[in-house]
Amino acid sequence: MIKLFENFANVKEIKEVIFLKAVDTSDIYLIKFFLKKGYDINIDDALYKATYDDNTFRFFLKNKADVSVLDNNKLKELHVQKALIDSGYDSLIFDRVGFHNLLKQDPKYSNIVEDYENIGKFNL
């Protein structure tokens, strides 16, 4: 069925719906299949939907999805912040919403949070 639509240039919307359905499954192999076929990882709501499954979200981050589209409410979620920090987006969190309080209690992330809090103290 996918082949019916792939060759038409004006079916971008159909491709987006198909890709969003693939993201809903949280099946990384299926998502990879569509990306190899040239589907765009940065379509509306794809990254947002990916945040509901940690593995899918981390896959999107690894594949350079545009994280700037995430709204501040999503950026405040603990599991989203952990994945973003692990992918090197800690400054995005700090600049837009600040760090979740529970990150200070996690030994893996407490040093990062402390470093950013000290930036203001020492005017770095």
Mean pLDDT of 88-105: 90
Give, in order, the Cα–Cα distances in Å from 3 to each of 8, 25, 34, 36, 39: 10, 20, 12, 14, 13
pTM over 0.95: no
Tell me 68's DSSP state: G
State pLDDT tens for residues 34-77.
Answer: 999 888 899 888 999 999 999 999 999 999 999 988 889 999 99
